[in-house]
Amino acid sequence: MDGQPTAEVIEQIRDIPIYRESLAKGYFPILDKPEIARGFPDNWMTPRLAAALESGEAEFVLSTGTNHARMQIIRPPYFLLRSYYQLWSEHPDISGTWESGCRRVSLTTVLATEHVARVNAARRGTAPAPVPTLDDRWLDERTCYLNLRLDPALWERAEVERMLEEIRTARQAHPRGWYHLDCSGYHLAHLVRKVGEWGLWDDFPPPASIIHAYEYTPVNVRRFLRQHFDCPVIDLFGSTELGYLYYSDRHGTYWPYLDKMSVELQPVADGSTIYQLIVSSVRNPHMPLIRYRSGDCVRTLDGTPDPGQIIQFCGREKELLSTPHGPVAQGDLDRCISEASPDVFLYQLRLTGEGEAQLVYTTFHGAPVELAQTAALEQGIGELTGRRCRLEHRTHIPIGKSGKYAWLTAGS
């Protein structure tokens, strides 16, 4: 299937300048991010879009970005939030927490918190406070943001106590004391470790449901969270420009959520069973994306390009590692690590020279992994990457300036 748009979709994009050449040729090539940015926003402008921007029905925003350049897009206000709420309200395992009126407490990057504070300040016509109060961090009547520090590994006790108090405040609005915890898996794992270290479990009310949705969550981190929370722990996959496309159930199986969308899978290299996502979507009426290369990679259950068989969202195309056996994704390294040791928490593969690599890592318990696990990890990573690998335990791996972790770096 080449993913060409249907007649119904073509009618919705007929007057958009960026698609004029494709419409004339009767064929739509894959749409890459540089093409979207070229001539922006004129290449998207129509009378209907101009009117929507004038009325406030559409707005300019930047994609969230991780370790790559951010992209300017046009979308309805709260587009991603509404996509999240819609999926939460329909999810087979956690829709009850939506229907019961649970408040959503979000524990993720400080950049997300700061964005909410800026939006609220702009509404008031004031400058954002240097340290946003809880009132400044409510996105709407349902969602508040907790984190005020870039690196969660550096949270101090007073910060953790403040966040736990804010969780308790949010849950008081529910008659049964329920709340929904939205998070980056890494950030929640850091919180769990701090709570355990300082004996604060009595101050941490258990959530009624958990979603992690901001970045790749390693197998060991998911396992760690499930060990500490007796509620559904759900993964969502999506992006700023597309909304959410897939969700996991409480058992880890992924299901498509392709409202006004379709997906193709194309191999990242000849013979590879790592596939890149090509998405056609009219969910965002102001910037429909036809055969858009999102930059995300997946693996499927049977190794075929069937979007209904996705079992892993395994990383970003720009972060693939070239090896003698073909490209390797973050998810491949993660699987190798989780099979050898459940104790590894954070990790980073550093390419240290020709044919060599170093895996720096932290653990959930703070001590190095056992010698047998060290040997298994070095051997497994060596076989996966085609590089001689050595391990080095660290007590701290700094987070990136985006508030997310890089799994692969060059140099020592």
pLDDT digits (tens, 9 = 90+) for 308-318: 999 999 999 99
Return the SS3 of 37: helix
Q: What are the tokens at 169?
A: 């405040």
Can you tell me which residue has the tokens 């969700």? 247
Mean of the per-residue pLDDT values for the chain? Answer: 95
Q: What are the tokens at 42?
A: 């004129």
Residue 69 pLDDT grade (very low, low, confident, very high; cuts 50, 70, 90): low
The confidence score (pLDDT) of residue 68 equals: 47
Kindly give the residue spans of alpha helices, DSSP state H, lying in 216-346: 219-228, 330-340
More confident call, 2 vs 233: 233
Residue 23 host element (H or E): helix 20-25
Residue 3 pLDDT grade (very low, low, confident, very high; cuts 50, 70, 90): confident
In this prediction, residues 252-275 reach a mean pLDDT of 96
pLDDT in tens, 353-400: 899 999 999 999 999 999 999 999 999 999 999 999 999 999 999 999
pLDDT in tens, 314-341: 999 999 999 999 999 999 999 999 999 9
Cβ atoms of 405 and 399 within 8 Å: the answer is yes
DSSP state of 326: S
**DSSP assignment string, 38-101:** TTTTGGG--HHHHHHHHHTSSEEEE---SSS---EEEE-TTHHHHHHHHHHHH-TTTHHHHHTT
In this prediction, residues 32-38 reach a mean pLDDT of 93
Which domains does the chain show, CATH number per domain? 7-51+262-317 (no CATH), 94-231 (no CATH), 320-410 (3.30.300.30)
> 3-8: long-range contacts (C-beta < 8 A, 24 or more apart)?
3/28, 3/262, 3/264, 3/278, 3/280, 3/291, 4/28, 4/291, 5/280, 5/290, 5/291
H helices then E strands: how many in the chain? 12, 17
The confidence score (pLDDT) of residue 64 equals: 58
pLDDT in tens, 196-245: 999 999 999 999 999 999 899 999 999 999 999 999 999 999 998 999 99
In this prediction, residues 103-120 reach a mean pLDDT of 95
Distance from the Cα of residue 381 to its chain's centroid:
25
The confidence score (pLDDT) of residue 211 equals: 98
Can you tell me which residue has the tokens 């329909």? 90
Can you tell me which residue has the tokens 């403040």? 162
Return the SS3 of 242: coil
Return the SS3 of 208: coil
DSSP state of 172: T
Dihedral Cα 93, 98, 102, 108, nearest 10 deg: 70
